[in-house]
Amino acid sequence: MSAQHDASNTTAEPRGLRFWRWVRARAEAKIREHHMRTFKHDRRCANCGQWGAIVGMDWANIREIDPMHEGLTCLGCGHETKWFVHSMVPIIAEDVRHVG
């Protein structure tokens, strides 16, 4: 092998990793499917993109702000969002930038 070939191979994924990425994607899809059947919605952190269905319902601290809104603080990144919860699906009412 040439030195050039070895240098380009340093960033290549290990053999078989593509298969495990496929398995992970399929597993996450099944988890989300089950979550959606159960809860009829899923929430995602507006900052880090973490889905509640993938991590579990303990992905955020949830508190009631008033009868119409919930506040969520992502446990992964500390980002805060205010959600309007009396619609067909919860929607972000306010995206609060939080530096934690």
Residue-by-residue pLDDT tens, the chain, 100 positions: 444 444 455 567 777 899 999 998 898 888 888 877 776 667 778 888 877 777 666 777 888 888 888 888 888 888 888 888 777 666 676 665 543 3
Q: How far apart are CA 71 and CA 55, in angstroms?
A: 18
pLDDT at 23: 92
The answer to whether residues 33 and 39 touch, using CB atoms and an 8 Å cutoff, is no
Q: How far apart are CA 26 and CA 30, in angstroms?
A: 6
pLDDT at 100: 39
User: pTM score, two decimals?
Assistant: 0.54
